[in-house]
Amino acid sequence: MTQKEISIIHPRPSSIVAALYTLRDLNVDVAILHGPPGCSFKHARLLEEDGIHVVTTGLDENGFVFGGHDRLVQVINKSIELFNPKILGVVGTCASMIIGEEMHEAVLEANPDIPVIEVEVHAGYHNNTKGVLFALESALDAGIIDHKEFERQEYLLIKATEVEKKFGAASKEYLAPSRGDLKYKVAKRLIELLKEGKKGLVIMNAKKETGYMFADITLAVNEVAETLGKKENLVNMANIDPELGLPRVRQHAEYIMRDFIAHGVEIHEIIGGMDEYPVAGEKVNELIKEKYSDYDFAVITGVPHAIPMDNLRQMELISITNGPRQVLPLKEIGHEHVMVEIDLHPKTLGVSEIVESEFGATLREVAKEA
């Protein structure tokens, strides 16, 4: 860490967890955490809800001293016996990496007849994107992805880190978590704007599976606008290009587009893939400049801080994120109304259709009284 970098003191996601989610996006069937049984417990349990088996070698004090080679070989063989995976992941932890465990030797000894993505990672990196990068490098070596996709992912990781350091949860030494503005008050304001005939942009710039809930806000705004006879005043944008991203990410885009079509919601502008949230904002910026500079307000969901403010400053901004530490940074750059969808992530793992959001539900109810 250089002297110019901020010394962040609030907790953040770890590289181990980032590696696990990347294995999930690569459609890995089983991920073996080589470490203590409680390492990354919460996310391991959540990922099991999303279709990937996460098991552990359960290293104990004896393993910390003498290593866990034999135990890892046993768990690899047991996982193949139990789950018959097509792709296997083996992920390091702080404990196994500190003792210098050679995971590759255990994989060679087990010699499974399937591709194995080995991720030598611990939680001691300031940027959790390191865990993603290590998983992708191993996937490249195993022939799961090609060089073109690896380079694309590497570029997106760099841009994601830049966004978080400039405008996100890594932008300040300490950010207190906040629930943001009251949803019913913002819903009332949004309905006022629609009733007044103001023109609005509904922009979904969501990160992967979180899109299942942020898409509900796009649905709700369109439903209410239609009820008020103002649907033609809206332009919808979403980063749901089904041709871009790792296998699981492309699938999310297909499902969300399917649901938009089923609800009669037209997406006027596709602004990128569901892993392109760090860069899709640039496309939004250009689109507004070229076609929508006279719009009055914007409802932005997902990663609002990745969209440049250049052409948004004249609009009233209503933004919804799932990061309680994102409220203050968004307020500081000019987002007038900022709300948080609490518990979004647990509700969007393991689903394959749009799920109801708090703000969407609130907006629909307030509209009934309007």
Phi, psi of 285 (to 5 degrees): -60, -45
Question: Tell me: the pLDDT tens digits for 133-146?
Answer: 999 999 999 999 99
Which sequence spans correspond to the domains of the chain?
A: 15-145, 183-369
Cα–Cα–Cα angle for 311, 317, 318, rounded to 5 degrees: 145
Q: What is the dihedral of CA 45, 47, 49, 50, to 10 degrees?
A: 180
Cβ atoms of 247 and 25 within 8 Å: the answer is yes
CATH of domain 15-145: 3.40.50.1980
Q: How many CB atoms lie within 10 A of CB 313?
A: 10
* Mean pLDDT, the chain, integer: 95
pLDDT greater than 70 at residue 2: no
Question: Tell me: the pLDDT tens digits for 336-358?
Answer: 999 999 989 899 999 999 999 99
C-alpha 279/C-alpha 267 separation (Å) is 19
Q: Tell me what the mean pLDDT of segment 164-190 comes to.
A: 93
Share above pLDDT 90 across residues of the chain, in percent, rounded to a whole number: 90
pLDDT band for position 360 (cuts 50, 70, 90): very high
Would you state the pLDDT for residue 8? 83
pLDDT greater than 90 at residue 290: yes
User: For 183-369, which CATH class?
Assistant: alpha beta
Would you state the pLDDT for residue 127? 86
Phi, psi of 339 (to 5 degrees): -130, 160
pLDDT greater than 70 at residue 204: yes
Paired strand residues for 235: 201
Would you state the pLDDT for residue 1? 47
Question: Tell me: the pLDDT tens digits for 314-334?
Answer: 999 999 999 999 999 999 999
Q: What is the DSSP string of 191-257?
A: HHHHHTT--EEEEEE--GGGHHHHHHHHHHHHHHHHHTT-GGGEEEEE---TTSSSHHHHHHHHHHH
Q: Do domains 15-145 and 183-369 have the same CATH topology?
A: yes
Question: Tell me: the pLDDT tens digits for 264-283?
Answer: 999 999 999 999 999 999 99
Would you state the pLDDT for residue 4? 60
